[in-house]
Amino acid sequence: MEQKNIKDKYGAVWVSHSSIGDFLKCPRAYYLHNMYKSKDNRKINLVSPALSLGSAVHETLESLVKYKAEDRFKKSLLEAFEENWKKVSGKIGGFKTGQPGGHPGYSEEAEAKERAKQMIERVIKNPGPLLKKTVKLKDEESETLPNFFLSEEENIILCGKIDWIEYVEADDSVRVIDFKTGKNEEGQDSLQLPIYVLLLNALQKRKITGAAYWYLEHADVPSSVILPEADIAREKVLSIAKKIKDARKTGRFECPRGAQGCFSCQPYEKILKGEAEFVGIGGYNQELYLI
């Protein structure tokens, strides 16, 4: 008798926007970032000013969801930002001292912190959707990322965290908002919104009536974008997830550029060669390295 497929969260292949992005850029980088374990049985990760800036801003803004809409801006958001910045200050945030070519007194960290602070100040002046009611997904209060079985048959789980889910009272629906701290705008082929649509449809019952990217570097309000069709989104994400599953099964994670490596996998290769500086232990018990 054929055995029925049984849900197995521990044996399943977990995919997310970031891990899929790693795989699409370079399967070797995917392996080194998402699967490889050090001699101390920890995954490895790279620190950088851009990631640290984004982390501090996101943590500051996303923390607002813990409060009732009318109470969110009663406490100083800048004070919260200062506390969050302490977590990424110095080398553990990827900031180097004595930058070659920098003018006297130049500080890579001070420049990044000022940029981040201006983003927070922009939100304080233009809180817009952050003053409205929100919706939380299950698992958000725990350490587990919101997740669901994208395919029980393939034993693939999709997980991810959505920056902000606005509740639209007029029609009892939701609108998703993604905070952007980088200088470039999201491309049309990005899988971020398709993944958000799949997560929202699986983990809550309200209709999704809108989506927007908030480019905090230069925009006072979020920029609305067209929502992808759920069926098309699932097909697109599952197709890539299956390729990841196949690669994990065969153990083949080759860089498209061959042995010389590419911009995605080369930094991780440096960690393996001992050419990167260990700067501490980060979230999810990862070893953090500075190139």
pLDDT in tens, 230-278: 999 999 999 999 999 999 999 999 999 999 999 999 999 999 999 999 9
Position 287 in a domain: no
Backbone angles phi, psi at 157, to 5 degrees: -110, 135
Same structural domain, 258 and 269: yes
Position 288 in a domain: no
Same structural domain, 238 and 252: yes
Same structural domain, 212 and 254: yes
Same structural domain, 81 and 119: yes
Domain assignment of residue 197, given as a range: 1-46+132-276
Same structural domain, 52 and 42: no
Interhelix angle for 192-203 vs 17-25, to 10°?
150
Position 290 in a domain: no
- Can you read off the two tokens belonging to residue 41? 């049985």
Same structural domain, 103 and 7: no
Same structural domain, 16 and 96: no
Same structural domain, 181 and 137: yes
What pLDDT, on a 0 to 100 scale, did the predictor assign at position 137? Answer: 86
Position 282 in a domain: no
- Can you read off the two tokens belonging to residue 214? 């908030």
* 3-class state of residue 246 by DSSP: helix
Tell which of 74, 107, 124 closes a domain. 124
In this predicted structure, the answer to whether residue 191 has a pLDDT above a threshold of 70 is yes
CATH number at residue 193: 3.90.320
- Please check whether residue 166 is in contact with residue 179, taking contact to mean a CB–CB distance below 8 angstroms: no
Q: How far is residue 106's CA from residue 33's CA, in Å, rounded to a whole number?
A: 32
What pLDDT, on a 0 to 100 scale, did the predictor assign at position 288? Answer: 97
pLDDT in tens, 79-135: 999 999 999 999 999 998 755 455 555 689 999 999 999 999 999 999 999 999 999
Same structural domain, 72 and 203: no
Q: How far is residue 226's CA from residue 197's CA, in Å, rounded to a whole number?
A: 11
Q: How far is residue 208's CA from residue 58's CA, in Å, rounded to a whole number?
A: 22
- Can you read off the two tokens belonging to residue 133? 């009611």
Backbone torsion region of residue 81, taken as left when φ is above 0, otherwise alpha when ψ lies between -120 and 50, otherwise beta = alpha
Tell which of 124, 159, 177 closes a domain. 124
pTM, two decimals, is: 0.90
* More confident site: 168 or 3: 168
Tell which of 124, 147, 176 closes a domain. 124
How confident is the model over 19-46, as a mean pLDDT?
97
Same structural domain, 105 and 159: no
pLDDT in tens, 57-91: 999 999 999 999 999 999 999 999 999 999 999 99
